[in-house]
Amino acid sequence: MVVKLKKNKLNESHPEITSLCDQRITENDFLSDAEAPELQKYNLFIPTALLRKAFIGDYLNLE
């Protein structure tokens, strides 16, 4: 997760960042429907929904 701030905006962004802890964020929230990470050479032959599911299961761990 990347947060880009303008100068002197850190104090204003603190409440927003801490509010992320209260939200029910799942692994699916980190990838949009259009995203499908292609990490292997044959991934272009696999449906994007399956690629997202595999990426989430293999690489993302919110615990």
DSSP secondary structure string for all residues of the chain = ------TT-HHHHHHHHHHTTTS---GGGGS-TT-----STTGGGS-HHHHHHHHHHHH----
Q: Please report which confidence band the pLDDT of residue 1 belongs to, taking 50, 70 and 90 as the band edges.
A: low
- For the chain, the domains span 10-59
Give CA angle at 5 (15, 28), nearest 5°: 70
The predicted-structure confidence for 28-44, as pLDDT tens digits, reads as follows 777 777 777 778 888 88
Q: Residue type at 29?
A: D
Place of tokens 């949009």: 32
pTM for this entry: 0.53
